[in-house]
Amino acid sequence: MHGGLHNRLLVPEVREEEIDLKSKVWQESKNIWRVALPGVISRVGSFGTLVVTQSFIGHISPLDLAGYALVQTIIVRFVNGILLGMSSATETLCGQAFGAGQYHMMGIYLQRSWIVDLITLTILLPVYIFGRQFFMLLGQEESIATKAGDVSLWFIPFVYSFVFSLTIQMYLQAQLKNKLIAWISVFQFILHVPLSWLFVTYFSFGLPGAMSALIISSWFLVFGEFIYIFGGWCPHSWRGFSKAAFLDIFPIVKLSLSSGLMVCLELWYYAVLVLIAGFMENAEVGISAFSICLNIYGWELMICLGFLGAACVRVANELGKGNANAVRFSIKVLVATSVLIGVFFSSLCFFFHKELAQLFTNDKEVADTVSDLSGLLSVSVFLNSIYPVLSGVAVGAGLQGTVAIVNLICYYLIGTPIGIYLGYGVGLQVKGVWIGMICGIVCQSITLCVLAWRTNWDEQVLKASQRLNRYYLKSEEETNQSSNQA
């Protein structure tokens, strides 16, 4: 009898634990989606402008499409990788500063990132100016290299918008104010589609019309962000331009470089594979088909990058607060949510592969090649749901240097050689290159899982505190308070 009573008394306790776990998961999910959803919308909208531009150019001519594909997949990814990576230092510092309540430092970190990124982009400008020579040096066909050289000049105003859009997004995201970016990105995309139709289809401006529409819509996003920040909607984190932005630049550069290397090694991986495809038989078809697949893949990746941002913010905020247990729990919920989304989108790519190809080209040979790659595309889309989240965890903790080493080994010492061997040695062509890419991503995903599992998060809390104290500058209120007390 006593045993039965004891068992009955245990039931409510188990249920309470289950309810408590459900409420914790629900609360954490709300925190994640609060950051992830606006991040997903903004990234999908911004990247969507590139995809829409490619779609319009693809209906102009196969040569224009191949030239645009080369520049967007290689040069733009090369420069964007550096800028995105270096900007992720802003994400780390702003996220941890917000968690620690050091709000005024966020505006200073933002200005420092503008200085570092603007100088970096200006140094890299010759890559765009001498685009034709660059692709000729890499051994591309002269007609494709010449067209790519024309396209690369049009991309210069576009990439300068990256300096501001990337860093401002991370700055606002860290303080949970990125709904604005989502709305502006939606308007940007809505503006870009009819603008592209007007310039390319109605006025028949061709390639210059498509690129002009891209430039206008990209700067529309940046000006909207400027109005929000300078207009007083970030009173605690934006105190105006400050000379303090020029102080402690070198430690920021060091963190930015490790961040840049981490992302670059990832984004350049796909660019290297497109280059490999360019040396195969029927290069124009190979580049165009591979680029279309990478754009579909990249568009879905933007959704996963929303979770990368959420992972970074959640980890950085909790480390700033000194809560290691919350970091561990957040990682589990993030990975589970992202994997479910990955399963959904990989299924769409597998079942609707023919329709996807027809959106980007009228060329039957290119469309057939895209359709043939659909199985590999769906696998890649699923893998997208794992490694970006774990990369975001690393960025939030400031572990970019470690992930850079992982990316170097998995992508370039494992994935690329396998892709070259299968593409050329076995004769699988573009499909072999893609299988090599998947092998590299699988190795990276497994390594990052082990890294996240074995990281001592209590130790990371201490490191985050030391980092914030090293960069900390007193606000005007604190300075005045100290003067009055003296």
Of 216, 84, 230, 102, nearest in space to 162 by CA:
84
What's the predicted TM-score (pTM) here? 0.72
Rounded percentage of the chain residues whose pLDDT exceeds 90: 15
Q: For residue 257, how many other CB atoms are within 10 A of its CB?
A: 20
The alpha-carbon radius of gyration of the chain (Å, integer) is 24
Reported as a pLDDT band with limits 50, 70 and 90, residue 95 is confident
Residues 32, 254: Cα–Cα separation, whole Å:
29
Residues 387, 224: Cα–Cα separation, whole Å:
31
Residues 278, 141: Cα–Cα separation, whole Å:
9
Highest mean pLDDT among 140-154, 339-353, 426-440: 140-154
CB of 121 closer than 8 Å to CB of 163: yes
Reported as a pLDDT band with limits 50, 70 and 90, residue 4 is very low
Residues 295, 441: Cα–Cα separation, whole Å:
17
DSSP element (H, E) containing 73: none
Would the pLDDT of 39 be above 60?
A: yes
Nearby residues of 131 by Cβ (< 8 Å), 6 or more positions away: 71, 75, 148, 149, 151, 152, 153
- Compare 239 and 306 and report the one with higher pLDDT: 239
Under DSSP, the state recorded for 426 is: S
Rounded percentage of the chain residues whose pLDDT exceeds 70: 85
pLDDT in tens, 446-478: 998 888 888 888 888 888 777 777 666 666 655
How far CA 274 is from CA of 271, 430, 469, in Å, comes to 5, 9, 44
Domain ranges for the chain: 33-470
pLDDT in tens, 288-336: 777 777 777 777 777 777 787 788 888 888 888 888 888 888 888 988 8
Q: For residue 277, how many other CB atoms are within 10 A of its CB?
A: 26
Reported as a pLDDT band with limits 50, 70 and 90, residue 274 is low
Q: What is the pLDDT of residue 9?
A: 39
Query: Can you spell out the DSSP letters for 218-263?
Result: HHHHHHHHHHHIIIII-TTT-----GGGGTTHHHHHHHHHHHHHHH
Residues 275, 271: Cα–Cα separation, whole Å:
6
Of 82, 255, 233, nearest in space to 172 by CA:
233
Reported as a pLDDT band with limits 50, 70 and 90, residue 485 is low
Q: What is the pLDDT of residue 474?
A: 61
Residues 410, 439: Cα–Cα separation, whole Å:
8
Q: For residue 417, how many other CB atoms are within 10 A of its CB?
A: 13
Nearby residues of 337 by Cβ (< 8 Å), 6 or more positions away: 29, 32, 307
How far CA 407 is from CA of 92, 305, 454, in Å, comes to 19, 17, 18
Would the pLDDT of 174 be above 50?
A: yes
Mean pLDDT of the chain: 81
Q: Averaged over 81-110, what is the pLDDT?
A: 81
Query: Can you spell out the DSSP letters for 30-81?
Result: HHHHHHHHHHHHHHHHHHHHHHHHHHHHHTT-HHHHHHHHHIIIIIIHHHHH
